Structure 1
Amino acid sequence: MSAPHHSAGEFLKKASVEITPKQIEKIAILQANLPPGTRVFIALLDPSEVEKQIEACVALRAAGFEPIPHVPARFVMDADDLKNRVAAFTSKAKVNTILALGGGAPNPIGKFDAAIQLMNTGVFEAHGIKRMGIAGHPEGNNDITKPHGEGALLKALKEKQAWIKSKGIEGFIATQFLFEAGPLALWVEGLRREGIEFPVFVGVPGPASIKTLVKYAALCGVGNSARLIRKQALNITKLLTVSEPTEFVEQLSTLHFEKPEIGIAGPHVYPFGGFDKLFEWWKSQPTLTAHTA
């Protein structure tokens, strides 16, 4: 009998899920399909939805999940605004983990446009944040590299890692979604050579039609993956075909279990095609099995 074969199902046990404040109405579906303690990220796509994001954190905590709100710098007015929302997260929903990011808005609504600026206010550590995520861009981010050059993303990761470590906070990287494990592995290995040590949670698009994925690829500005999915969309008969991330998750699972030194910690799943499609696919993934050589 050989060693156990580590499957996609086992890898998915390490997954986090991302929702929007409006999707909190689907909380019963999350409870029926995810174990207690699952990390649920709450995106903020509209600066007017901060109160709804706080309410979503409260509901998720009450339902037994670990709420992790996004705090996009470009949607924060000033240090007082940041202080008020982090105070609400921590006091009302016992939040101890946040994802600090620049945000994709073309123009900031206030004083900030980068996550490191939020960190330097002192608000996070003052309110007892123990774990902090930062954004990773395996396929680049034109919003940053166009004005600041190709080295800006790596420089920003190094700055944020240094800050997080200096405060004794646990750090991790959550990436944009993509479709290919090979380029992702090369990117992570490159980070390790540059001294970036944080574990990486890889963005995985849940089952969705090609048409839906094209829309989200355009919104999120992903690079090679956007080109790959647009190429499929050129075939009009494929537009409504549902794309499932099975092969991608299997490849990530192999990297996680067989190359632990590169630090791919788990999948971060985006339910682009809806929760019903997501959990139907999720439950179909094989779990740990023993096999003969």
Structure 2
Amino acid sequence: MTTPAARKLLDGFSLEMTGKDIPGLNEAHHTIPQGTKINVTFLGNEDLEMRIAASKAVKDFGFVPVPHISARRLQSQEQLEEFLGRLQDIGASERIFCVGGDPATPEGPYPDSLTVIQSGVLQRYGVREVSIAGYPEGHPDIPDEVLWQHLEEKSAALATQGLDAVVLTQFAFDAEAVQQWVLDVRSRGIESEIRIGTPGPAGIKRLLGYARRFGVGASTGIVKKYGFSLTNLMGTAGPDRFMEELGNLLEVAPASGNVRTHFYTFGGLLATAEWAHEFAAQH
């Protein structure tokens, strides 16, 4: 049985896909509510045409594309403008997610997402809303105080630029850590919508592989609460327990404000969309 608090957290959820996953979107589109935000990644092994095609497919199916911009992967301002221009041509430039990206050394003039935001380029191509990254369980390579400084600086820069902000988090397993982080965000005067990242249903080994890659905490106690055991890596796990616990924690913390869910679809778009439909239908 799904609690009202968990259903509230699920309401208006968003999804994530890669540029290569148009077939997955085609398979899953009938299960996804119209108007759902679908983020399109900006990976090193995908090119401009793949990213544009994926964003167009999202829009054509009646969803809201949120293309990613990976600052350190951009080789020039011209490359950024070409991408935004192509997105604007298909009506997919209003909302973006701007993140630093994986490369240790910037490939061009943008060392981080803040420099992209401050460039003034985004507004020229119709961008109105920018999602920025949050890390409820920290980052393996960046101290917490630096993460907070970056979040505050990006929030302030977006406000100065007249752009709406969404804080979109790395996926998490620990509901209590997420609740505390949300309250810490609010205590710093950041009132933007927060989308908490969590994995859709996927194989346990795959989930743990992504957790190691992204530096997400995966201690025995936390993953057991999430719904699987480190000693039994067979089968799949979904975010049922996490959603229930986080929904209940946020319900008793009214200062948490507008919090929704963002699903990383490691197990596929269809599996995640079907899980969300079934979870919401439980009473």
**TM-score normalized with structure 2 length:** 0.90
Task: Give RMSD over aligned pairs.
Answer: 2.4
The equivalent of 1:29 in structure 2 is 27
The correspondence of residues 40-79 of structure 1 with structure 2, limited to 5 A, is: 40-46=38-44, 48-79=46-77
Structure 2 distance, partners of 1:53, 1:227, is 38
The equivalent of 1:141 in structure 2 is 139
The equivalent of 2:200 in structure 1 is 206
Deviations 1:15-66 (A, max 9, x none): 0000111111222233211111110000112164232111111111111110
The equivalent of 2:273 in structure 1 is 279
| Range moving further from structure 2, 189-198 or 220-229 | 220-229
Of residues 147, 150, 153 in structure 2, which corresponds to 1:153?
A: 147
Deviations 1:180-224 (A, max 9, x none): 211111111112222222221000111112100111112222235
Preserved contact between residue 79 and residue 121 of structure 1 (Cα < 8 Å): no
**Counterpart secondary structure, 1:64:** coil
The change in CA–CA distance for 1:234 and 1:224 in structure 2 (over 3 A counts) is closer
Mark the runs of 5 or more structure 1 residues left unpaired by the alignment.
none
Preserved contact between residue 10 and residue 287 of structure 1 (Cα < 8 Å): no
**Counterpart secondary structure, 1:17:** strand
Preserved contact between residue 59 and residue 65 of structure 2 (Cα < 8 Å): yes
The change in CA–CA distance for 1:288 and 1:243 in structure 2 (over 3 A counts) is closer
**Counterpart secondary structure, 2:89:** helix
Establish whether residue 164 from structure 1 lines up as the match of residue 150 from structure 2. no
Deviating 4+ runs (over 6 angstroms):
none
Preserved contact between residue 72 and residue 102 of structure 1 (Cα < 8 Å): yes
Deviation at 1:87, TM superposition (A): 1.2
Preserved contact between residue 31 and residue 274 of structure 2 (Cα < 8 Å): no
Matched residue count: 279
Deviation at 1:279, TM superposition (A): 3.2
Deviation at 1:13, TM superposition (A): 2.8
Structure 2 distance, partners of 1:257, 1:90, is 39
The correspondence of residues 78-97 of structure 1 with structure 2, limited to 5 A, is: 78-97=76-95
The equivalent of 2:257 in structure 1 is 263
The change in CA–CA distance for 1:244 and 1:93 in structure 2 (over 3 A counts) is same
Preserved contact between residue 131 and residue 166 of structure 2 (Cα < 8 Å): yes
The correspondence of residues 116-265 of structure 1 with structure 2, limited to 5 A, is: 116-145=114-143, 150-224=144-218, 228-229=222-223, 234-235=230-231, 238-265=232-259
The change in CA–CA distance for 1:184 and 1:118 in structure 2 (over 3 A counts) is same
Mark the runs of 5 or more structure 2 residues left unpaired by the alignment.
none
Structure 2 distance, partners of 1:226, 1:123, is 45
Structure 2 distance, partners of 1:34, 1:260, is 29
**Counterpart secondary structure, 1:215:** helix
Q: What percentage of residue pairs aligned between the two structures are identical?
A: 31
Deviation at 1:86, TM superposition (A): 1.0
**Counterpart secondary structure, 1:93:** coil
**Counterpart secondary structure, 2:141:** helix
**TM-score normalized with structure 1 length:** 0.87
